[in-house]
Amino acid sequence: MIPAIQLDGVSKHYDGIRALDGVSLTIGQGEFFGLLGPNGAGKTTLINILAGLVLASSGSARVLGHDVVADYRAARRALGVVPQELVFDPFLTVREALDFQSGYFGLRNNRDWIEEVMHHLDLAERASTNMRALSGGMKRRVLVALALVHKPPVIVLDEPTAGVDVELRQALWQFVRRLNHDGHTIVLTTHYLEEAEALCSRIAMLKHGRIVALDTTQNLLRLHLGCYLELRLQPDRLPESLAALVTLRREGGYRLGLRDYAEVERVIAELRSAGISIQELEVLQPDLEEIFVQIMRKS
Amino acid sequence: MTSLDQNAAPGRLPAIPHSSPVTGFWTLYRKEWLRFWRVSVQTILAPILTALLFLVVFAYSLRGRVDVFPGVDYAAFLVPGLAMMSVLQNAFANSSSSLMQSKMTGNIVFVLLPPLSHQEFFGAYLLAAVARGMVVGAGVLVATVWFVDLKLVYPLWAAAFALGGSGVMGALGIVAGIHSEKVDELAAFQNFIILPLTFLSGVFYSIHSLPPVWQAASHLNPIFYMVDGFRYGFFGASDVSPWLSLAIVGTSLFALSFFNLWLLRSGYKLRH
C-alpha cells in the first residue's frame, strides 16, 4: 500500500541554521500520527515541506506517492493542512472563505459538503459573519473547515488546540477522531502531550531537526519502567538511602521514581525504620510527558 | 462512531473529488476582483477623483501655454493621458498590494496550499489587475467626458494599449508584491519607480515640446509608449509610430510574464 506520507532524507537549512537534518519517515494510510518536539525542533518546517510552503534543501517528500515538488498538484490535492497561526482573509465571511477555498482546489458545486463541515464544526450559525468578527476559537474551527473542503485523504494539524478553551479542545479531538475513523490519515503536532497520548497510535519526536524517537505510543510509554510514588511525610525529610530516587521535591512532598512496584514495600520499610510516618501516598503511572522529557534530555 | 461524510465508504481511503482545471484560476480571479470591489470607494472612486483634480488644475493652469497636437485643445489632450495613467497605476497597485498584504497577514497560505498551477496563479492576479485598471480608466473617461470635447478615432488601438499597458503594470505589480517583504519596500517601488515613470511619460505634455535630450530620455521610458499609443486611439496622432509602441508594450508584457512564471516556479519569497 502506498504510504500516506513518505520522507526520505529531508533536510532544510536556513542561513546556516539546520532546521531539518536528514529526516526519513513513513506514515501509513489511516494512521493517527503524532509529531512532537520542543519549539524549534523542525515540526512546522517538516509540515511546510509536505505542504509545498517550504522547499527542502535536499531529500524528497511524497504524499500518497506524489512528490511534493515534481507532482505538486496531485500532492496538494491529497493534503489538507490546518496551519498553526490564526490567519484569515478579512474581506470574506466564513461561507465565502470556504467557497473560495473549495474553488482553489478546482471544486464546483461543493456547497453540500461545505454546509456539512460547517454543521459538524458548529460554524453554521456564523456562516455569514465576517472572519474579523470571529473569536479565536471560531477562527480555529474555520481553519479546520478550510483544510477539509476538498476532502483530503491526508490531514495535517499543526498545534490545532493551541490557545483554545477546554470545551473546544474536546470538540476538536472528537471531530478529528471521527475523521480518522472515516479513513483519513491524521498527522498531529502538539505541545499538549496528553493529547498525543490519547489520540495518536504512533509518535515521532523531533529535536534539532532530527528524529530522536519513533515508535508506537504504547512502546514509548513502556520505555519508562515502573512507576512514581508521591509522598507527604511527617517529619518532612527523607532517609539518605532513598535520596537517589527523588525526581521531584516540593514543599511538603516528594516524588520518587521506582523501577517496579515491588520497590514500594522497600520504601515504606525504610521510612518506618527512620521513624518517619506517611501522611499521604499515591502511586502514579508514567505518562508521555515524562517519556518526552527523558528522551529530550538524553538526545 | 458515525461517519462525518455521508458518502464515505467505511474503512476505505476517502476518494479525492474530481476537480476542474479552470475553476482554480477563475476562483482566484473572482476573489481578487471582490477584494478591490468591496472597497471601491478607495480603489475606484478615489483614483477617479484624483484624475479629475489633475484635469481641473492642469487644464486651467496650462491651457494655451503648452503645445500639443495641432488642433487639439490641451484639456482634451490631457484626458486620455490621465485615464491611461490611472489605468497603469491602479493595475500595478492591485496586484502588488494584494500580494503584499496577503504575505504580511499570512493568509497567502490559502492560495499557496491549493494545487493552483503557476500559470493559474499568475493569470488570476494579472487579470484582476487589468480589470481594476480598466474599470478605473473607464471611470475617468466617463467622469471627464462632460468637461472636454473628446473623440475616439481608433477605439481598437485605444483598447489594445489599455489592455496591454494594464497587463504590463499588473505583471510588474506581481513582481513587486512577491519581492517586497515590508510596506516600505513596496512604497519605494511605487514612489521611486512607478510614479516618476508615469508622470514623465507624456501624460501632461507632448514629448516634442521637450529639449532633444529629454525627448531621447522619454524614449527609454516604456510607459511613454503605452500613453502615446493610447492617445493615438483618440486623436489619430502620436509622438511615435503606434506600431512601434505596440511592439514595445507587447514585448514588455511577454518578458514580464515569462519572468513572473520563472519567479513562481522558483518559489522566490513565496515558498522558502
Q: Which of A53, A78, A100 sits opposite B109 (nearest CB)?
A: A53
pLDDT digits (tens, 9 = 90+) for B123-152: 999 999 999 999 999 999 999 988 888 889
> What is the per-residue pLDDT for B2?
47
Look at residue B221 and tell me whether its pLDDT is greater than 50: yes
Task: Give percent above pLDDT 90 in chain A.
Answer: 56
* Average pLDDT of the segment spanning B213-218: 86
pLDDT digits (tens, 9 = 90+) for A146-174: 999 999 999 999 988 877 788 888 888 88
Taking an 8 Å cut-off on Cβ atoms, the answer to whether A104 and B110 are in contact is yes
Q: pLDDT tier at A139 (50, 70, 90 boundaries)? A: very high
Write out chain B residues lying below 8 Å of A85, CB-based: 106
Taking an 8 Å cut-off on Cβ atoms, the answer to whether B13 and A153 are in contact is yes
- DSSP per-residue codes, B21-32: HHHHHHHHHHHH
Establish if A209 touches chain B: CB-CB under 8 angstroms: no
* Average pLDDT of the segment spanning A58-86: 94
CA distance A10 to chain B (A): 15
* Average pLDDT of the segment spanning B91-109: 94
Closest CA to B223 of B200, B207, B206, B242: B200
Phi, psi of A63 (to 5 degrees): -120, 115
Taking an 8 Å cut-off on Cβ atoms, the answer to whether B30 and A104 are in contact is no
Beta strand spans in chain A (E): 5-14, 17-27, 32-36, 58-63, 66-67, 79-82, 154-158, 185-189, 202-207, 210-216, 227-234, 246-250, 253-258, 277-284
Phi-psi region of A231 (alpha: psi -120 to 50; beta: other; left: phi over 0): beta
Q: Which of A52, A91, A101 sits opposite B34 (nearest CB)?
A: A91
Taking an 8 Å cut-off on Cβ atoms, the answer to whether B271 and A74 are in contact is no
> What is the per-residue pLDDT for B18?
61
Write out chain A residues lying below 8 Å of B38, CB-based: 91
- Number of cross-chain residue pairs from A and B with Cβ atoms under 8 Å apart: 132
Taking an 8 Å cut-off on Cβ atoms, the answer to whether B107 and A89 are in contact is yes
Strands A5-14 and A58-63: antiparallel
Chain B positions touching chain A (beta carbons under 8 Å): 1-6, 8, 10-17, 19-21, 23-24, 26-28, 30-31, 34-35, 38, 105-107, 109-117, 267, 271-272
Please tell me which residue of chain A has the smallest CA distance to B104.
Answer: A87
**Superfamily name with CATH number, domain A5-221:** P-loop containing nucleotide triphosphate hydrolases (3.40.50.300)
Taking an 8 Å cut-off on Cβ atoms, the answer to whether A101 and B2 are in contact is no
* Ranges in chain A annotated CATH 3.40.50.300: 5-221
Question: Do A292 and A282 form a contact (C-beta atoms < 8 A)?
Answer: no
Taking an 8 Å cut-off on Cβ atoms, the answer to whether B5 and A110 are in contact is no
**Percent helix / strand / coil, chain A, rounded to 5:** 40, 30, 30
User: Global pTM?
Assistant: 0.86
Write out chain A residues lying below 8 Å of B5, CB-based: 113, 116, 151, 182
Q: Amino acid letter at B247?
A: A
Which residues 182-201 of chain A have a CB within 8 Å of chain B?
182-184
Closest CA to B16 of A183, A187, A28: A183
Which set of grid coordinates corresponds to residue A236? 518532612
> What is the per-residue pLDDT for A224?
62
DSSP SS3 for A275: coil
Look at residue B48 and tell me whether its pLDDT is greater than 80: yes
pLDDT digits (tens, 9 = 90+) for B5-32: 555 444 444 555 666 668 899 999 999 9
Taking an 8 Å cut-off on Cβ atoms, the answer to whether A87 and B105 are in contact is yes
**Other C-beta atoms within 10 Å of B187: how many?**
12
Q: Of residues B4 and A53, which shows the higher confidence score?
A: A53
From the candidate CATH numbers 2.60.120, 1.10.3470, 3.40.50, 3.30.70, the one assigned to the domain spanning A224-298: 3.30.70
Which residues 224-263 of chain A have a CB within 8 Å of chain B?
none
CA distance B41 to B139: 12
Phi-psi region of B267 (alpha: psi -120 to 50; beta: other; left: phi over 0): left
- What DSSP element (H or E) covers A194? helix A193-199
Q: Which of B20, B115, B272 sits opposite A76 (nearest CB)?
A: B115
Write out chain B residues lying below 8 Å of A114, CB-based: none
The structural domains of chain B, with segments of one domain joined by +, span: 22-63+72-266
Q: Of residues A200 and A219, which shows the higher confidence score?
A: A200
Which set of grid coordinates corresponds to residue B248? 514595445
Please tell me which residue of chain A has the smallest CA distance to B103.
Answer: A87
Taking an 8 Å cut-off on Cβ atoms, the answer to whether B14 and A182 are in contact is yes
Question: Do A94 and A142 form a contact (C-beta atoms < 8 A)?
Answer: yes
* Average pLDDT of the segment spanning B51-78: 83
Taking an 8 Å cut-off on Cβ atoms, the answer to whether A87 and B17 are in contact is no
